[in-house]
A and B are shown apart, each in its own frame.
Chain A
Amino acid sequence: MRSLRSAWQVCLHNLIRLLTSSRFFVLLLSSFAVYAYVILPLVDLGKEMNEPINALEPFIALGNPRLLVFLYGAVIMLLFCDVPIMEDSHNSLIIRMSRRSWLGGQIFYIVLTSFLWVGMIFLFTVLVVAPRSFWANEWSYVINTLAYNRGLKIQIHIWAYVNANIVSNITPWAAALHNYLLLSLYAVCIGLLVLLVNLRHTRALSVIVVLAVNIEGYMAMAFVDENHPLRIFLTWIAPFHHAWLDQHNFTNRWGFSPAASYAFFLLLNTVLALIALARVKRIDLLPDTRR
């Protein structure tokens, strides 16, 4: 019980620190990019077609373009670049708990912030389209048209939509739920990777490691032929691919299905957290600049 209370205090301390930091507000501005490049084009197209869109569709469209998922990874890296937060200001917290409770608090912070961050994006995308959208569990005419009409997508230069793979296999509610969970688990994965590297090394190295992990997934798509064993392997080990909703096979549960991605993230995140917990006994609890 005391360990949980300790972990919660560390998490709370970090959250308050994040919410009052200028970095958080800069990252919030990225929402406006989402608005300009994802939401607005869909809304405008709906207006042109005189058809409402589903309130969840802009959020689902976020998990569709490869570049957007890649950029999302970069934003998350910035969000967590300073974990574990180990400033002098943590001294009076740390002395009241064990090393593992302290690290547990940092992990708790990463998990909570990841789910809150994606939740915030979700709310933002829903709220701005709410007045001109519907909530029924069916795809809008706009998205249906975009999903099956490649010519239209090219003609109107729209790049964030929902692909036929998703539209034809799952409902908007299921797609939104998958997108929420996959993006959150991906954020947890990036946060834990940063945490693990930062525990022993400088922050610069964690940036390189996370970028390398992200780029690996991105490059596999760009440079390796489809169905090549290397591409299949790289796809399976890249967190980036597991976060990318459109990559999933919704008909074959034994293929690259959402269930497989949840299992991948749960396993990877658990392993990363356990390694971090094992390492924390042997590290100096000093700010990055002093190590």
Chain B
Amino acid sequence: MIALKKDHMELLLKWRKQARVKDAMLTEVNHSLEKQFEWYNSIRNDPSKKYWLITFEEKPIGVINLSEIDQVNNKCSAGFLIGEESFSSLGAIVLPALYNYIFKKRGFLKVYGSVVSSNKTILKIHEIHGYRQIGYYEKHILKNNEYIDIILVELMAENWLSKKKFASYEAEWD
């Protein structure tokens, strides 16, 4: 995984504006490239966030990230998007490499997050990876003029590390 750079913003913006990506995300992006550069400047030196470009044989296919990195309590959130639609099946494959990085290399205790309730695919992927649903916020976000529910999830280190079938999924992290 290559650390996200300013040069990647145009591609990332194109991916974020795709309907299938918008539907899956908590936030919608409709802004300009200038605004995208502003976003990049806001995250690049933020110690609570880390973004990487996902590449497959050097072809950029998506973005994966950590956010809300809390080195005191050893927890973080994680996210990803596969921008190149023909690689969208790899969504559930790239996450195990990230979890091995989080739990083995960084030594974190948990990953936690929020999922749009209509995103059944990622909820199922989370289930396969060992997440548990801990609750939900009802009508928590206004999206497309409709209030939507948010499911709260977490994955504990001991649960992930007990899943031997994903132990070999590794990646290099810039």
Asked if A and B bind, the verdict is: no
Using CB atoms and an 8 Å cutoff, list the residues of chain B in contact with chain A: none
